Amino acid sequence: MKTSTLLKTGLIGMLISALCCFTPILVILFGAVGLAAWVGHLDAVLIPSLAVFTLLTIYAFIRKDRGKI
């Protein structure tokens, strides 16, 4: 996979995960659709996905610095 694709995927995923973790976007959305009972389980998905996308972004930066395209 290209480094630029890895970097874009990591940054976009990290941004979306952080946005959903630290703001009440999903809480409001789930409440509006009637899935408010699932709000308590969001941390079990969002925090690990934030970690994975952060690691993917770091990996892409390291790979880009080494010049592997």
Q: Give the model confidence (pLDDT) of 41-59 as tens digits.
A: 888 888 899 999 999 999 9
Q: Which pTM value belongs to this model?
A: 0.76
Q: Give the model confidence (pLDDT) of 29-44 as tens digits.
A: 888 999 888 888 888 8
Structural domains counted in the chain:
1
The span from the CA of 53 to the CA of 69, in Å, is 20
Range of the domain at 46: 3-66
Nearest to 63 by CA among 5, 16, 24: 5
